[in-house]
Structure 1
Amino acid sequence: MSIAGALNSAVSSLYAQSQALSNIADNLSNSGTTAYKANSTSFESLVASSGSSSSGGVTSSTRSNNSAQGLLTATSSETDLAIDGEGYFVVSTTTDGTGSSYYTRNGEFEIDNEGYLVNGDYYLMGWETDEDGNIMGGTSESSLVAIDTDAYQSSVGATTEIDMQANLPADAAVGDTFSTTVEVYDSLGTSSTMEVTWEKTDENTWEMSFSDPTVSSTGVDGGDTSTTAIELTFNEDGSLASTNPDPATISISDWSTGAADSTITLNLGTVGKSDGLTQLSSDSSEPSITIDSISQDGLAYGSLSGVEITDDGSVVASYTNGESRTIYKIPVATFGNENGLQEMSGGVYASTNTSGTSIIQEAGSGSAGSINGGYLESSTTDTSEEFSRMLSAQQAYSASSQILSTASDMFDTLMSAVR
């Protein structure tokens, strides 16, 4: 190898170690950055030509390690997210789906002034769900929309079912009549009270009928009940024998609040069992109806009080009326070669031909990791390891600079001999 070859090798080493130091500096400066993936430097030898004394030096390249899992740490924010396992959150620069999709493990999301879950300039994307938490419109990437909590700022629910557990006095006389009340809600969340009339019409036979609803807050007539009396029969052991009609329902129309008409199903118990209405002796000189429980599924108006994310990526909205329901599902994107993703500022990545296209899955299914709400993923930088690499790079750089100095002295000697 000639002196010129030695110079070339030394220069290539200086450049390679400079790149290694640059990667070390990036890693150390991002040791506290959420979900940062520490890069390493890969060195390869260069051969200038064939022969026993050939030399070309060294070349270096940055090696990504996107698949490394950082430590998950708890935070005080329920909208902070971390993926435990493989995959990335899908984000976009637009809310209407016209922008390109990007991918990140930086889960420092917060609700902006328009109600969107954002991380900087990026909107978190998810699938909309129905009232039962089922995904609507398919589970492809094209079905993703920006998660908008403002679209679910309030919650109401019309009563659709009433469950009753009560005992009708078997020792009541035929023709005896009793009254109870039940609360119902219309589709606008208005509470009304209905009077329930119970009349014993024959042995082991009763009729129940419902009055028109009265608005609880004003006492005015709330609507029209068009349901005819419901016939109830009981077995000799006091268990429910039948209802007519079956199932028993209530129909309410012309709500004074302008709400939609209501059809309410009455769950009065299982035929042959005592899990609903029963007819047993009251063992009293003045028989009366004993109400064990009356419940209904309607809800008054409630405003959004909080948002949390579960392990399967469900975005659960909580309301002041006590309701909690899933409004979106956050997917996880995986790649055939995630180390081939193009890194961008802010911990965001773009797909490339090397990484392959994204595979969108529900969190926790297939190869996709689970989502942890209220957690963030720490940087994978190991500071002690980076300092060790820094010392190695410094020593190699210093040695290469000595080669340059020695080669320069040798050239000076050669030039002196010529003169």
Structure 2
Amino acid sequence: MNEWRYLPAGKIARQRREVVRLESGVQYRTMGVRWYGKGAYDRGVATTETVKAKVLYRARQGDFTFNRIDTQKGAFDVVAAGLDGALATNEFPLYEVDPEQMDANFLILHFQQPDVLRRIGAVRAGSEGRARWKEDDFEAWTVPVPPLDVQARIIEVVRAVDKQIAALDAEATALTAVLRCFRAHLITGLDTPVVRADQAFEITMGRQRAPKYAAGPYMTPYLRSANVGYGALNLSDVLEMNFDPTEREVFGLVPGDVLVSEGSASHSAVGMSAMWRGELPEPICFQKTLMRFRAIRGVSIPAFVNHWCQWAYESGTFLDIAGGTNIKHITAMRAVRMPVQLPDVATQEQIADQLDAVSDVVVAARAEALRLRSLRLGLLSGLLDRTIEIESAG
């Protein structure tokens, strides 16, 4: 295999400073770089009244750029044609990459590696919350420089995986839109009796968090609003507090319970719900930032409760009943009075079976995309540390 070199980034990239001095009354198009690999984006129009800087720098297509703030969150990109000519502050330094040594898109791949981002996080300079990875840090950073034809082949392989991930994401998004429409039709389109929510479901508010529960003989994992996403639970960060045996009975979760986010500063999160499926060992409880919707035997079934709560979130019904100005709260008092079109149990089962079938396809597409993202990380790491050998594109 051809020889790889390892050079400071400053040897293959040169900072380009095309200075633009802002003038009063003139509008300027600006750009920035988002975290988490979301890349460069149009920040809109700026004037001397909306930006503090008196000098900005003009970006050109093909420039390598990054966000100096929280760089460890993956804020790197190559300026696309659509941003050619946009202006950037000094928080987004711009570099011309020597095309005889490196493809700027290959440099992006190096900075997408989790281990590289962790190391960047360890060396950033500055006060907490404003730490930066500056130009000197970038220029001193050692990067692999394989022959250009090998770079091209690696870019080609990784892009093939990215293309498949994008296709799966698009499929899941389209299927989710279909599911939402189908769910609204089945939940609201039947000629069924309307009852209060507390006649259809058992609705319970979680236990208030307080310092006195921070320690005790019955420390118990509990879920909070941060654990509830759109139709899915995030169990990567589950906290504990003391729930005595009686409280465990009252606030304990059983498979089939549906957790609804009771309030949030973000209106898009109010009423977000997900079903508890027994993912963690019992006992596990829930905090007051959540409400528990539980099926009533002979009246409702868990799968219908789950889809009803999903519909109430998607339709904005939960948000409509929420009180408050900046931080919206549903509260159990409001939730129990919500009208529910409640079919008989047999019809609920039919509705749930149809919706679950579509939901399963959505989940499968998202799971496959997640699997490919994991595979991509391993592939990228192997290609760049040369544990996976690859020949040139030719």
- Give TM-score, length-normalised by structure 2: 0.22
Q: Which has the larger radius of gyration?
A: 1
Instruction: With a CA cutoff of 8 Å and minimum separation of 6, indicate the structure with the bigger relative contact order.
Output: 1
* Greater share of residues in helix: 2
Which structure features the higher share of strand residues? Answer: 1
